[in-house]
Amino acid sequence: MTKHTCKLFVTALAFGGLMLAGCESGNARRIDPAGTQTITSIKHLDIQDAADAAAAMSQSLLNSGRLGRHANAAGQTIVRPSIIAIDRYVNNTSQQIDRDEVLKKIRVTLNKAGVAQTLVTINDQGELGGESNIASKYAQQNTPADRSVQTPELLVVDYSLTFKIIENKGQAGKVRQTTFTFQMSLVDVKSGLAVWEDETQITKQGKHSSVGW
């Protein structure tokens, strides 16, 4: 191989390498969080995983037709947003996952669809003191200690929403696999019946994390 041919070969290799890299640089840049340029890791719950789980659960809830329709005292069906309280959240994974990574997206979707509203004055123990301090304080001040009279909000809770995440890991040689299972139940608080339940799974497999998918 002559010196000239060798130079040509190296230049072509370098050019090809640049083409393959797709002109990607290591500099920080903003990307669309709902797009396909996000990082896919094997062990962790990525933002697209949370979005996928929330979308699957929201669609299942919307398809069920359970929300937004209720029977009044006369037995007639009335159309109004269902009042939901967020119940127990169980995270059976090896990592800390904020429940709202998934739950908030479901709440937003149901709220925008006009089929459900979330009561924020009670906590996951069913006690006064939810995520809204001011509304919780108002509810406390207007509810006698013996609860003989309750604020209207406390009377109209239709459903509670329970949520659980489970993690399952596997490995074959250098290939690792993680499955996140999301389980959700909508419970009629008056009857105690789970009127809607669903489960969705996200499985990721590979040796290394990757950028884009």
* Mask for 86-125, x = binds another protein (CB under 8 A): -------------------x--xx--xxxx----------
201 makes contact with another protein (CB under 8 A): no
For another protein, the binding residues in 16-35 under the rule CB under 8 A are 34-35
DSSP of the chain, one letter per residue?
--HHHHHHHHHHHHHHHHHHHTT--SS-----TTSS-SEE-SSS--HHHHHHHHHHHHHHHHHHT-SSEEE-TTS-EEE-PEEEEEEEEEEESSS---THHHHHHHHHHHHHHTSEEE--SB-TTSSB--S-HHHHHHHHHTS-TT-SS--HHHHT--EEEEEEEEEEEEEETTEEEEEEEEEEEEEETTTTEEEEEEEEEEEEEESS-EE--
| Shortest distance (Å) from residue 41 CB to another protein | 15
Pick the stretch among 53-61, 127-135, 141-149, 150-158 that binds another protein (CB under 8 A). 53-61
State the residues that interact with another protein by CB under 8 A: 34-36, 48, 51-52, 54-55, 58-59, 62-63, 65, 67-69, 105, 108-109, 112-115, 212-213
